[in-house]
Amino acid sequence: MAKKGLKRQTTESFTDLQNDVLGQYVASGAIDAKDINAVQDIAVDKFIEFKDHPFYVIDNEEMEELVASIKDNGVLVPVIARPRDGKFELIAGHRRCHAAKKAGIEKIPAIVKDYSDDEATLAMVDSNIQRENILPSEKAFAYRMKKETLSHQGRKAADPDEVGTDTRDKISDTDSGATVDRYIRLTYLNKDLLKLVDEKKLSLLSGVSISYMTKNQQKIVKKTMDDESLSPSAPQAEQMLKLAKAIKDDTKFELEILKLLRKKQAKRSYKMTSKEVSRYFPDDFDDEKIKSTIEELLTKWSKEKGYYKK
């Protein structure tokens, strides 16, 4: 039988979870520390989704686990919302709210604040972007929303110098401005190509290059990829973009990218001697320490550039 209401438990692990998530909300600026003491229970059917919410709420295995947890323990972490036309527009907690409905919960804990539109957008992005396993498309549209909001705020600011290229550097604490721009470019891909990026069948950098093509050229690229069961490497996608700019005839463009896709990518091999490697490390670093440091630095660099593959 579905539960009606909340079953609150305060075990140490649950308290740690609450403190951790609420602490992240405070750190992101979505709420103030004092807001944590202003939690109220609100009927679950009073909540509406944030307009153009870029983060997906999917009925998958993770959702079923969340539903089961909520049936047993209630909603442990309050959602964040603002008053909106007699309802409450969700800022953070879309998945929890959806899971609570599936679990038969009638009321969930919420922190309600009177955000302006700009404040609501920034709080929504900053409170959700910290989630694990965010898809490239989710991050892309979230970054675009945040950039547009920051630019809008900058135009209203007294200091016009606030508006400029440095806006992108304020968007993320983890991704550089250049990486942010790459993600935002993905929002100009058609939905079929963007889905391939999410599915890791098309690399981020390849997607960025293709995003500069016209809608029709993107359709041609996708059709050719499907016909050949091939995906362009980042260098191939760059060459495709050059072809897209130079060739106006669609039939000729399709033939040229077909030839390009069929070209075998050269196999690459790399060797460095221990002497070459050792110049970069202290004498007390053993082989295992050197290897782990190289992997750590390469992972950081490849993620920054958009090359990283799991």
Q: What is the pLDDT of residue 293?
A: 87
115 in the same domain as 157: no
Phi, psi of 47 (to 5 degrees): -90, 140
Task: Look at the block and give the residue holding tokens 């029709």.
Answer: 216
Look at residue 3 and tell me if it is in a domain. Answer: no
Pair 16, 91 in one domain: yes
End residue of a domain, out of 128, 147, 176 = 128
CA distance 106 to 41: 10
pLDDT value at 304 more than 70: no
Instruction: Write out the residue range of the structural domain in which residue 282 sits.
Output: 274-305
Instruction: Please tell me the total count of domains within the chain.
Output: 4
What single-letter amino acid sits at 236?
Q
**Nearest to residue 174, comparing CAs of 183, 165, 187?**
183
Cα 254 to Cα 8: distance, rounded to the nearest angstrom: 60
Region 242-261: what's the mean pLDDT? Answer: 96
Structural domain ending residue among the three candidates 128, 147, 180: 128
Same domain, 199 and 109: no
Same domain (yes/no): 172, 193? no
Q: Are 120 and 194 part of one and the same domain? A: no
271 backbone φψ class: left, alpha, beta (φ>0; ψ -120 to 50): beta
CA 106 to chain CA mean position, Å: 30
Model-level pTM?
0.75
* 97 and 115 together in one domain: yes
The verdict on residue 5 lying in a domain is no
pLDDT in tens, 6-40: 333 443 445 666 777 788 888 877 888 888 888 99
Answer yes or no: is 74 within a domain: yes
- For 62-76, 155-169, 178-192, 296-310, which range has the lowest pLDDT when averaged over its residues? 155-169
The alpha carbon of residue 42 and the mean position of all alpha carbons in its chain are separated, in whole angstroms, by 29
Reply yes or no on whether the pLDDT at 250 is more than 70: yes
Domain boundary among 165, 188, 211: 188
Asked if residue 35 is part of any domain, the answer here is yes
* Structure confidence by residue, pLDDT tens digits, 50-82: 999 999 999 999 999 999 999 999 998 999 999
DSSP string covering 41-90, please?
A: EEEGGGEEPPTT--S----SHHHHHHHHHHHHH---S-EEEEEETTEEEE
